[in-house]
Chain A
Amino acid sequence: AQSVTQLGSHVSVSEGALVLLRCNYSSSVPPYLFWYVQYPNQGLQLLLKYTSAATLVKGINGFEAEFKKSETSFHLTKPSAHMSDAAEYFCAGSTGGGNKLTFGTGTQLKVEL
């Protein structure tokens, strides 16, 4: 069964610093993988997705993620954090069965001046 693990429930970075949010998946086959962002009192918004076309995926707002099969990872990065990046981020994955997504427990990103 597909599962997704996010390491670190809270991450704090300074404005302008690198953002790195970690996600690992467990699956015997390359899955579909997604990163979503949630701002306070809102729904989830798709940041980017991996669907096997390319291992380095670029998303909105300057975020990108790299699929590494050898490490079963799909970490989210952004070179320079902005105050507006403060939000909760969710990694999600699926092997396609029933088109169901399994979500990680989320990482709250705090950006400090």
Chain B
Amino acid sequence: DAGITQSPRHKVTETGTPVTLRCHQTENHRYMYWYRQDPGHGLRLIHYSYGVKDTDKGEVSDGYSVSRSKTEDFLLTLESATSSQTSVYFCATLGTALNYGYTFGSGTRLTVV
């Protein structure tokens, strides 16, 4: 979706290094989400934001932190990357009401070696 940009699209990093993934939206959506996608697990929620500086944990938040200093940007940080965090990470946004459904970015493929 042209309104959501994830960067980088691909990254290889070493175990123990910090990594930051960026989600940028031009939709002025209030809600933003970070999910990870793994085979056999579908998508699992890591963290989400319901406004600037307002964030909360999802079901798989250990080892991750987030920040949202402005409406358009939602950053996901792996504090010390581990091989278990090798995954595809998706950002999603929601405007006003859940009945509209999420809009997804194209994903970031992260490999931790």
Contact = CB atoms under 8 A, between A and B. Distances in A.
- Chain B, interface residues (CB within 8 Å), range: 20 to 34
Contacts of A41: 107
A42 B44 CA distance: 17
Interface string B69-113: 000000000000000000000101010011101111111000000
B45 interface: yes
Nearest to A31: B98
A11 B94 CA distance: 30
B56 interface: yes
Contacts of B56: 98
Given A9-B40, A103-B42, A43 B98 contact: no
Interface of B: 1, 4, 31, 33, 35, 40-45, 48, 50, 56, 58, 90, 92, 94, 97-99, 101-107
Given A44-B92, A49-B101, 18 more contacts: A9-B40, A43-B90, A43-B104, A43-B105, A43-B107, A51-B99, A90-B42, A90-B43, A92-B43, A98-B56, A99-B31, A99-B50, A99-B98, A100-B58, A101-B98, A101-B102, A102-B45, A104-B42
Interface of A: 6, 9, 32, 34, 36, 41-46, 49, 51, 90, 92, 94, 96, 98-106
